[in-house]
């Protein structure tokens, strides 16, 4: 059964333990070790650190300051990362099959296949795959859903470490039911929307929040359909089109040839007389 | 033994060599230091000028080759024969620089061959990579008689002649697939600007590539005739002009019908995207189309003006579809670095120099006078093709 993560941003305290745990498990460089100054830690104006997701930071806690009705500011924290779509655009567009979807949920990148075309970066509706721009032998990097931990029966590092249990690991179906139940039981605390239930045809990682998802930087313009269907419409017609063009061209060539030969024999016949 | 009208070193050809060497330097720089060092690309703008030209412009400019091959070899309209050989070479060179461009733009360049044994048939990019490899081979096989003639390799020439029609048909199918797939690459990004998005974008890419490819053939036919004192076949070129106008009419018709049918035309506003759309479709496509429908196409100056406008228009279209129309869904801005420009123009310049070499040393213009009445042949300046 496909696994999932439910991220409850109401519970999140912004401790960034998930960011650290992820770097530890995935052996990602931290401050001062990254290959370029660009990746060094620094604060965004709202105290997000580093300012954005990059090839050396698979998950990332973003801080949002949202004004309340009474004029006070409320602080919201949201853990961002690859959402591991059920039917991922990146997997469908990869020409060499370097991105693969595992049955139990993870979308994983295979370094022995990738040749670095970056079509996945273009196709991903959530802009999640990141590229090592400063490397001569670069990798596409993103959250792996700790597939190697799942294989050993462990939960992902971020979920394991989260002190307020804001990142819950489990079966996707159960998590979805739990999300709806929690919203139903606490209508004053939660905005009634499970982000990821239908986005891009559904994702393994889902969010429930205190405010509308777009206020926390979640892309609500993402279509509800599965993305690979957009190109399948074009690809599925190709075999028929090839056959039609080949028949048309072959036929034209043959009949034009016969016709010109016929003309030629008529003219030469006239000349003979 | 060679075309004595064609000088090897002029101020232009020296510039071409220098630019090509510059592009080679950028290629080395990329291999050693990575894409970040030579481009302004980022995770926000993963594709930029290079992709717009490699897979957009260079491939589109090659469309003259398969179109003229179809017209002459399949439809047997002999009138256009003088243009076929140069058009096929132009296509081969455009595909070659596209291949070099894609090689350089890949993060892990040496693995460019991976699609040969790593199949993923759900990916349009997989199809694109096979089309590039196969059609590049087909183009050089279509071009090969020039080399066989030059070096008097009769047996090879006969074999090539025997397989010519299957080659041409294969080339047309590959071109149809390739040109249309490039447009369809972006069907999976519905968050781009709607003026350039639609379910027919694949087919539109194919049709606009034909207009672009033929315009490039006309443009270079006029330029090279002037520069190298070849017979200028205005009789053939102006008829081709009418053909280009019809292709553009079909293109604009389909494009506007789709924009109206999907309602995407409502995305038109008087902002920078509206301006780009107006420039692309109005100034660089509709205007030259009208010019080519009138008698003005019989005048060399107007013909070259119209074909230049179309070339600019389709280049603009590719830049818009592949890069600029994605701006609404992106953060931060992107402007190509100087090395990106150097590489792009260096590839074009290198291809032009190789074309000059081929024109000088190969019988590229041996069909130049085909179809010209005997009386006119005598009054025309002499063509000096290589033997």
A110-162 pLDDT tens trace: 999 999 999 999 999 999 999 999 889 999 999 999 999 999 999 999 999 99
Contacts of A184 (CB under 8 A, 6+ apart): none
Q: Does B371 fall in a domain?
A: no
The answer to whether position B121 is within a domain reads yes
Put simply, whether A92 touches B (Cβ < 8 Å) is yes
What local confidence, expressed as pLDDT, does residue A32 receive? 60
Domains contained in chain B, number? 1
- Indicate if ipTM > 0.95: no
The per-residue pLDDT of chain A, averaged, comes to 89
State residue B378's pLDDT score: 65
The DSSP secondary structure of B192-254, one letter per residue, reads S-GGG--TTHHHHHHHHHHHHHHHHHHHHHHHHHHHHT----HHHHHHHHHHHHHHHHHHHHH
Classify residue B372: in a domain, yes or no: no
Burial (CB < 10 A; 0-12, 13-18, 19+), residue B139, is buried
Task: Quick: pLDDT tens for A83-109.
Answer: 999 999 999 999 999 999 999 999 999
Q: Could you give the 3-state DSSP secondary structure of residue B19?
A: helix
> What's the CA gap between A223 and B263, in Å, rounded?
18
pLDDT by residue, tens only, chain B of 387 residues: 356 678 888 899 999 999 999 999 999 999 999 999 999 999 999 999 999 999 899 999 999 999 999 999 999 998 999 899 999 999 999 999 999 999 999 999 999 999 998 898 889 999 999 999 999 999 999 999 989 988 888 889 888 888 889 899 999 999 999 999 998 999 888 889 999 998 899 999 999 999 999 999 999 999 998 888 888 888 889 999 999 999 999 999 999 999 999 988 888 888 899 999 999 999 999 999 999 999 988 888 999 999 999 999 999 999 999 999 998 888 888 999 999 999 999 999 999 999 999 988 888 888 877 777 776 666 665 554 443
The pairing of strands A3-8 and A60-67 is: unpaired
HSE-CB for B115 with a 13 A CA cutoff: 24
Using DSSP's 3-state secondary structure scheme, residue A173 falls into helix
> In this predicted structure, what is the pLDDT of residue B386?
43
Span A196-219, pLDDT tens digits: 999 999 999 999 999 999 999 999
**Minimum Cα–Cα distance from B70: chain A residue:** A249
A203: three-class secondary structure by DSSP = strand
A122 touches chain B (CB under 8 A): yes
**How many Cβ pairs closer than 8 A exist between chain A and B?**
164
Contact A114 B111 (CB under 8 A): yes
Interface of A with B in 98-117 (CB under 8 A): 98, 113-117
Range of the domain at B348: 11-366
Three-class DSSP category at B333 = coil
Q: How confident is the model at residue A34 (pLDDT cuts 50, 70, 90)?
A: low
Q: For chain B, what is the radius of gyration of the CA atoms?
A: 21
- Compute the nearest-CA separation of B8 from chain A (Å): 37
Chain A neighbors of B126, CB-CB under 8 A: 95-96
Q: What is the pLDDT of residue A141?
A: 94
In this complex, the residue of A36, A54, A256 whose CB is nearest that of residue B43 is A54
Among chain B residues, the shortest Cα distance to A242 is held by B173
Question: Is A246 close to B125, i.e. CB distance below 8 A?
Answer: no
Residues of chain B with Cβ-Cβ distance to A36 below 8 Å are: 36
Q: Which of A121, A137, A246 sits opposite B43 (nearest CB)?
A: A121
Handedness of CA B22, B23, B29, B32 (dihedral sign): negative
Is residue B376, in this structure, part of any structural domain at all? Answer: no
Does A234 contact B184 at a Cβ distance shorter than 8 Å? yes
Q: Residue B106 falls within a domain, yes or no?
A: yes
User: What is d(CA B248, CA A131) in angstroms, rounded to the nearest whole number?
Assistant: 39
| Contact present, B29 and B102 (Cβ < 8 Å) | no
Q: Is the peptide bond before A50 cis (omega within 30 degrees of 0)?
A: yes
């Amino acid at each position: 059964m496909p696994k999932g993560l439910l991220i409850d941003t109401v519970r999140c305290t912004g401790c960034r333990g998930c960011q650290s745990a992820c770097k530890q498990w995935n052996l990602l460089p931290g401050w001062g070790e990254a290959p370029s100054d660009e990746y060094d830690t620094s604060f965004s104006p709202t105290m997000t650190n580093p300012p954005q997701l990059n090839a050396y930071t698979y998950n990332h806690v973003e801080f949002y300051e949202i004004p309340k009705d009474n004029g006070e500011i409320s602080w919201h924290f949201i853990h961002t990362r690859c959402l591991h779509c059920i039917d991922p655009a990146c997997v469908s567009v990869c020409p060499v099959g370097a991105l693969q979807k595992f049955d139990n949920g993870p979308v994983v990148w295979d370094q022995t296949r990738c040749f670095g075309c970056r079509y996945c970066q273009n196709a991903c509706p959530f802009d999640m795959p990141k590229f090592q721009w400063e490397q001569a032998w670069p990798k596409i990097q993103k959250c792996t859903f700790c597939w190697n931990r799942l294989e050993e029966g462990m939960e992902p590092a971020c979920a394991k470490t989260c002190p307020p249990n804001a990142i819950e690991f489990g079966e996707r179906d159960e998590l979805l039911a739990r999300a709806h139940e929690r919203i139903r039981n606490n209508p004053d605390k939660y905005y009634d929307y499970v982000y990821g239930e239908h986005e891009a045809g559904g994702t393994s990682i889902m969010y429930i929040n205190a405010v509308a998802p777009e206020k926390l930087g979640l892309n609500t313009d993402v279509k509800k359909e599965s993305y690979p269907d957009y190109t399948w419409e074009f690809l599925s017609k190709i075999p028929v089109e090839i056959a039609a063009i080949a028949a048309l061209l072959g036929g034209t060539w043959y009949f034009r040839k016969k016709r010109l030969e016929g003309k030629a024999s008529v003219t030469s016949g006239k000349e003979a007389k | 033994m060679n075309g004595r009208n064609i000088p090897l070193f002029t101020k232009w050809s020296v510039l071409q060599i220098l630019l090509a060497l510059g592009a080679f330097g950028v290629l080395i720089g990329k291999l050693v230091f990575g894409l970040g060092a030579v481009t302004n690309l980022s995770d926000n703008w993963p594709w930029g000028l290079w992709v717009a030209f490699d897979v957009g412009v260079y491939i589109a400019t090659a469309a003259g080759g398969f179109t003229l091959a179809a017209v002459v070899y399949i439809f047997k309209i002999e009138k256009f024969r003088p243009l076929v050989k140069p058009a096929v070479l132009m296509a081969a060179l455009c595909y070659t620089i596209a291949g070099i461009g894609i090689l350089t733009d890949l993060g892990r360049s040496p693995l460019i061959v991976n699609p040969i044994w790593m199949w993923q048939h759900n990916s349009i990019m997989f199809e694109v990579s096979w089309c590039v490899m196969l059609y590049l081979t087909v183009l050089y096989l279509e071009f090969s008689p020039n080399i066989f003639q030059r070096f008097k390799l009769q047996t090879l020439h006969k074999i090539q002649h025997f397989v010519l029609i299957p080659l041409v048909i294969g080339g047309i199918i590959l071109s149809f697939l390739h040109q249309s797939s490039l447009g369809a690459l972006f069907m999976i990004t519905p968050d781009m600007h709607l003026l350039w998005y639609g379910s027919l974008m694949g087919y539109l890419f194919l049709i606009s590539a034909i207009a672009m490819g033929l315009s490039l053939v006309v443009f270079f036919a006029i330029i090279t005739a002037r520069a190298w004192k070849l017979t200028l076949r205005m009789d053939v070129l102006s008829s081709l002009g009418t053909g280009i106008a019809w292709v553009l009419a079909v293109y604009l018709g389909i494009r506007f019908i789709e924009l109206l049918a999907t309602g995407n035309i409502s995305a038109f506003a008087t902002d920078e995207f509206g301006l780009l759309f107006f420039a692309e479709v109005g100034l660089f496509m509709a205007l030259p189309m009208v010019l080519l429908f009138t008698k003005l196409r019989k005048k060399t100056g107007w013909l070259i003006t119209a074909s230049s406008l179309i070339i600019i228009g389709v280049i603009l279209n590719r830049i818009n579809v592949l890069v600029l129309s994605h701006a609404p869904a992106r953060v931060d801005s992107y402007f190509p670095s100087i090395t990106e420009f150097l590489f792009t123009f260096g590839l074009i310049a290198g291809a032009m120099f190789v074309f000059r070499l081929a024109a000088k040393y190969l019988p590229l213009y041996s069909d130049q006078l085909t179809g010209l009445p005997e009386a006119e042949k005598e009054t025309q300046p002499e063509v000096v093709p290589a033997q």
